[in-house]
Amino acid sequence: MRLQAPTFFAIAAIGALPGCAGSPGFKMATSTASITVPTSAMGHAVSAPSPLRLPMTTVFKGQSRFDSLVAKAEKENWRSLPLGERTVRAARAMTGIPYKNYTLEVDNHIESPVVDFTGLDCWTYYENAVAFARMLQYKPAPYHPEDMLHMIEIERYRGGRCTGNYLSRMHHLEEVFYDNQRRGYATNITPSLPGAVRLRREIREMTAGWKSYRYLRNNPALLPEMGRIEARVSKLPVYHIPKAKVRAIEDKLRDGDICAITTNWKFGYTSHVGLIVKMKGRAYFTHATSDRSKGRRTIIDRPITDYLDGSSKHAGIVVCRPKDLPAPPTALRQIAKS
């Protein structure tokens, strides 16, 4: 799939993160006055879930934690909250989970959406929180592992569809931001923030570190196409907020914003990712950390400005704001009948 950059699109890449391991649109009829559709439902149609290609025990782990999370969400009526608040509720409920990388590398050849609540890295922590929050609004209970896997597939795979091929997964966060924004599922707000600066890098994360990835080690024939993907990703416009200017824009960040940490490394854009939690008038950073001094687990850390100031390797941030997904056709029919 050829990527065409929008006029303004701020992006960040996460392929081999040092701190982590890491469809056609539709037109909704508006002439039926009896149907009120949220603005989030005016984007592209959500792809149907792909068929299960690997055993459920391989692609979904931590059923008891998932069930507990569902029970808590139902008891506290998270569904009634805005997406950002739902995301933060889910992220808070997942704090304390051990840090674990390469949880997506579950087979030598077959690619599949994966959820693992027994261990999270920085990418899967933010992703699971957003996916769980979206799931609550997308469909009514009961909720099953298949529902969570579908939400992950929508976020993680190009066009929201896993083909079973490793390259159908987006391995760079800037493409995730681009693809989700293209489909109307998120807005990368970085260019609109004061102090935004464009970055230019030559992305080589996956091709340079291919031996670190199980699928690429077992399928080296994928490398040429991965190189072409990284070449396209390198051409997308990338904006970030330099860390010296982040304190001034903290008040513009919201609960549940995806916050990627940019790096000075010339072959990548980011080194880490997490979520924003608003507390005490500040924008705090919640993330899965591999830092042993912080317990190698998911935590709510310091305000994002203080976190950035803690390391000379941190260059700034990129911020993407997720949206709820368009309602499935069955849900729209139920609304019309009510």
> What are the start-end ranges of the H helices in the chain?
56-59, 63-75, 83-93, 122-138, 145-156, 173-182, 205-208, 214-218, 223-234, 304-309, 329-337
Cα 334 to Cα 226: distance, rounded to the nearest angstrom: 43
Q: What is the torsional sign of CA 174, 176, 179, 185?
A: negative
CB 6 within 8 A of CB 181: yes
Give the residue-averaged pLDDT of 298-308.
98
Q: Poorest-confidence range of 16-25, 65-74, 79-88, 327-336?
A: 16-25
Q: Which range, of 142-156, 252-266, 316-330, averages the lowest pLDDT?
A: 316-330
For residue 291, give the nearest of 311, 306, 276 by alpha carbon.
Answer: 311
Cβ neighbours of residue 280 closer than 8 Å, sequence gap 6 or more: none
Look up residue 278 and give its two tokens: 């608003």
Residue 51, amino acid: P
What residue spans define the domains of the chain?
39-325
What are the tens digits of pLDDT across the range 62-120?
999 999 999 999 999 999 999 999 999 999 999 999 999 999 999 999 999 999 999 99
Average pLDDT for the chain: 87
- State how far the Cα of 224 lies from the Cα of 206, in Å rounded to an integer: 11
Helix (H) or strand (E) holding 286: strand 282-288
Q: Are strands 60-61 and 115-116 parallel, antiparallel or unpaired?
A: parallel
CA-wise closest residue to 160 among 41, 319, 9, 25? 25
Q: Which of 262, 264, 274 is nearest to 99 (CA)?
A: 274
pLDDT for position 85 = 98
CB-based contact 307:272 (threshold 8 Å): no
Give residue-wise pLDDT tens across range 271-285. Answer: 899 999 999 999 999
Q: Give this prediction's pTM.
A: 0.87
Model confidence at 38: pLDDT above 90: no
Residue type, 296: R
- Are 329 and 322 spatial neighbours (Cβ–Cβ below 8 Å)? no
Judged against a pLDDT cut of 80, whether residue 184 lies above it is answered with yes
The pLDDT of residue 36 is above 60: no
* pLDDT at 60 (0 to 100): 98
Helix (H, G, I), strand (E, B) or coil at 126: helix
Q: At 312, is the pLDDT very low, low, confident or very high (cuts 50, 70, 90)?
A: very high
Tell me what pLDDT residue 33 has: 27
Q: Distances from the Cα of 206 to the Cαs of 28, 72, 202, 326, in angstroms?
A: 39, 38, 12, 32
Tens-digit pLDDT profile for residues 209-253: 999 999 999 999 999 999 999 999 999 888 999 999 999 999 999
What pLDDT does 44 receive? 76
pLDDT at 237 (0 to 100)? 87
Count of CB atoms situated within 10 Å of the CB of 89: 22
Structure tokens at 156: 């993680």
Nearest 5°: the CA angle 205, 207, 211 is 100
Q: Which CATH architecture has domain 39-325?
A: Roll (2.30)
pLDDT at residue 17 greater than cutoff 50: yes
pLDDT at 336 over 60: no
Least confident of 39-53, 282-296, 302-316: 39-53
